[in-house]
């Protein structure tokens, strides 16, 4: 804003804020809904994590967190959640980049992106029912592994996440590729760069912001994969699919809100740390570029 103001003079209208104070009132409905739906419930959960679970709650200090961290099932659920997120997000992102690069090179195939986007518009219940019909005991794909095997169920949920989110990841990468100046790619081709070199040396560095946004989107969807897992395998899935949400749901059915709140608060901080890491990597790349 300082550069714009200097370019347009000292008394320029650009000296004003982007959102003048008189226009801030239009932000109040959004701020109010954020506080009502997110900030206030989180604050209540945070305070509940320090109370005992009884008819007359009393201050329990860190007792709930001690019980949580000494519970092996919580560590198992946290480990399974993080491993699934890293594997699913990494695979989806790599395939999305490769497919987008192919579609960008072969322009006449770009309308096929619509086929990849179909699962995005399906609700979780319909998606789970369709996937159960495809992967269940009456499916032609059942010969791959025994349908009751835990590895098969893990692979099935992994493929479901991939099928549901690959279209959006590919679309984001494709939009980012179309935003690259064609002269940059043309200069690389004139210098004799191959398709792999164009992808690794030019396209990926310029898609840094898009890739980070795609990671955040996939991370949010990865946390919500519990819906599909619950619809497919119920509240007691195989051990390798026991996620943090299953752990929290178990204490919810037992009405143990103190441990439930503690588990939710800890997991929210884990997700927040992941977001901070992604943001710091993005900022570091911007500083190096400058």
What is the reported pLDDT for 69?
87
What is the reported pLDDT for 9?
46
Average pLDDT, the chain: 78
CA angle 175, 125, 251 (to 5 degrees): 105
What is the reported pLDDT for 140?
47
Confidence of residue 91 (pLDDT cuts 50, 70, 90): very high
Confidence of residue 61 (pLDDT cuts 50, 70, 90): confident
**Residue bearing tokens 């509240």:** 235
**137 pLDDT above the threshold of 60:** no
What is the reported pLDDT for 149?
61
Count CB neighbours of 198 within 10 A.
17
Please answer whether residues 194 and 156 qualify as being in contact, where contact means their C-beta atoms are separated by less than 8 angstroms: no
pLDDT, average across residues 111-139: 72
Query: What are the residue ranges of helices labelled H in 49-191?
Result: 63-69, 72-105, 113-117, 124-135, 150-178, 182-190
Which residue would you say has higher pLDDT here, 31 or 145?
31
pLDDT, average across residues 113-130: 78
What is the reported pLDDT for 246?
85
Tokens for 225, please give them.
Answer: 């994969």
What is the reported pLDDT for 15?
44
CA distances from 125 to 26, 55, 222, 231 (A): 36, 36, 17, 7
Please answer whether residues 177 and 100 qualify as being in contact, where contact means their C-beta atoms are separated by less than 8 angstroms: yes
Secondary structure (3-state) at 3: helix
Ranges in the chain annotated CATH 1.10.3720.10: 66-289
**70 pLDDT above the threshold of 60:** yes
What is the reported pLDDT for 272?
87
**169 pLDDT above the threshold of 80:** yes
Counting residues of the chain whose pLDDT is more than 90, the rounded percentage is 4
**138 pLDDT above the threshold of 50:** no
**168 pLDDT above the threshold of 70:** yes
What is the reported pLDDT for 73?
87
Q: What is the dihedral of CA 11, 14, 20, 23, to 10 degrees?
A: 120
**142 pLDDT above the threshold of 60:** no
Question: pLDDT tens digits for 17-54?
Answer: 455 667 777 878 888 888 888 888 888 888 888 887 76
Counting residues of the chain whose pLDDT is more than 70, the rounded percentage is 83
Confidence of residue 139 (pLDDT cuts 50, 70, 90): very low
Q: Which CATH architecture has domain 66-289?
A: Orthogonal Bundle (1.10)
Question: pLDDT tens digits for 248-280?
Answer: 888 887 787 888 888 888 888 888 888 888 888
- Range in 1-10, 156-165, 220-229 with the lowest mean pLDDT: 1-10
Query: What are the residue ranges of helices labelled H in 179-235?
Result: 182-190, 195-197, 204-206, 208-223, 226-233
Instruction: Tell me the chain's radius of gyration from C-alpha atoms.
Output: 24
Tokens for 274, please give them.
Answer: 């992941």
DSSP annotation of 119: G
pLDDT, average across residues 62-91: 88
> Which pTM was predicted?
0.76
**124 pLDDT above the threshold of 80:** no
């Amino acid at each position: 804003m300082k550069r714009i103001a200097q370019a347009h003079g000292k008394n320029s209208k650009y000296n004003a804020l982007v959102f003048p104070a008189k226009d801030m009132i239009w932000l109040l409905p959004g701020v109010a809904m954020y506080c009502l739906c997110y900030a206030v419930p989180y604050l209540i959960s945070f305070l509940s994590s320090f109370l005992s679970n009884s008819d007359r709650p009393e201050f329990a200090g860190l007792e709930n967190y001690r019980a949580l961290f000494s519970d092996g099932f919580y560590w198992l659920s946290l480990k399974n959640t993080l491993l699934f997120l890293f594997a699913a997000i990494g695979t989806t992102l790599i395939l999305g980049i490769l497919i987008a690069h192919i579609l960008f090179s072969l322009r006449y195939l770009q309308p096929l992106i619509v086929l990849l986007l179909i699962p995005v518009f399906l609700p979780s219940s319909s998606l789970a029912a369709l996937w159960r019909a495809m992967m269940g005991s009456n499916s032609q794909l059942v010969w791959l592994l025994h349908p009751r095997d835990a590895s098969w169920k893990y692979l099935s949920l992994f493929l479901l996440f991939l099928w549901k989110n690959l279209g959006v990841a590919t679309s984001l990468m494709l939009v980012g590729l179309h935003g690259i100046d064609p002269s940059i790619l043309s200069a690389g081709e004139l210098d004799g760069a191959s398709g792999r070199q164009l992808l690794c040396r030019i396209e990926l560095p310029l898609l840094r912001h898009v890739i980070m946004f795609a990671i955040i989107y996939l991370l949010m969807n990865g946390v919500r994969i519990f819906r599909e897992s619950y619809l497919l395998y119920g509240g007691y899935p195989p051990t390798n699919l026991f996620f943090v949400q299953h752990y929290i749901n178990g204490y919810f059915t037992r009405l143990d809100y103190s441990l439930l709140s503690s588990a939710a608060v800890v997991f929210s901080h884990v997700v927040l740390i992941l977001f901070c890491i992604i943001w710091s990597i993005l900022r570091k790349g911007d500083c190096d570029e400058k």
